Amino acid sequence: MEKVWIQCGVLKFPKRSPSLVYSDKHLISLGGFSDDETPSNGVFAYSLQTEEWKTLKPMSVPRVDLCVVIVNKFIYVLGESGSNPCVALKTAEKFNHCTRQWISLPDMFMARSQATAVALDDQIYIMGGLASNGRPLKSVECFNTITGKWDRCGDMIQPRFDFGAAFFKGLLYVIGSGNTMHSMHSLSCSVECYNPKTNTWSQVHFQNFIKKREITTYILCRRHQSMYHDMESVA
């Protein structure tokens, strides 16, 4: 397969900062800012077979920079910013791509924007982010998609927002982020990992910068590998 970029149709619904996820041979665009700079609850699907966009049922509230994960073919959206001006949200909902319906979920314990979420089996972990007052968070909570309940997990060692995260060999690794209220551009080079069995976090120490880059690359690849593998099967 030739590895080149090609034009895949034009998005007729101008968007800034939407979230994108792959589901059932479609690329799904969720939320973001509309062309008038207001937060949007719009959801649009791009068919990889027909190369056409279509409008799906919107989310219950506008969301920007939302956390999106897929578990058992359901698209879960968590927290992030809503309304105008943007505020952190604690709401969550899931989308059934077969019925094209949204289902409301129980609220999270904490309202979050710019958080990070990852899934492992039937569990969804959402970590850090910014609280409604702009304060970086180190709290973590987990949603059981079977029972439909949220549980609190152990806090991260330091607050983080806009950071990378991935599971590797049963451990959850997080890397990067700003970690102060006053310096939104301050990046953290620290890495920590979470053991779900012990509900504890520990600092990860690297011997050199090369290893830092390797784990960063791994986390970035993990974020997109499932989409990449599924899209290969469609091509």
pLDDT of residue 148: 97
d(CA 55, CA 26) in angstroms, rounded, equals 12
Residue with the two structure tokens 């520990």: 202
d(CA 141, CA 108) in angstroms, rounded, equals 8
Bridge partners (DSSP) listed for residue 85:
none
d(CA 214, CA 220) in angstroms, rounded, equals 10
Structural domain spans, the chain: 19-234
- Chain-centre distance of CA 227, in angstroms? 14
pLDDT of residue 93: 98
Q: Give the tokens for residue 66.
A: 């939302």
pLDDT of residue 98: 87
Asked if residue 42 lies in contact with residue 34, where contact means CB atoms within 8 angstroms, the answer is yes
Q: Give the tokens for residue 62.
A: 């506008």
d(CA 162, CA 181) in angstroms, rounded, equals 13
pLDDT of residue 132: 87
What secondary structure letter does DSSP report for 112?
A: B
Classify 150 as helix, strand or coil. strand
* CATH number of this structure's domain 19-234, picked from the four choices 2.120.10.80, 2.30.30.790, 3.30.230.10, 3.65.10.10: 2.120.10.80
Q: What average pLDDT values come out for the chain (235 residues) when binned by 10 residues?
A: 76 78 91 86 92 93 91 94 74 93 97 94 95 91 98 95 91 79 55 95 68 47 44 43
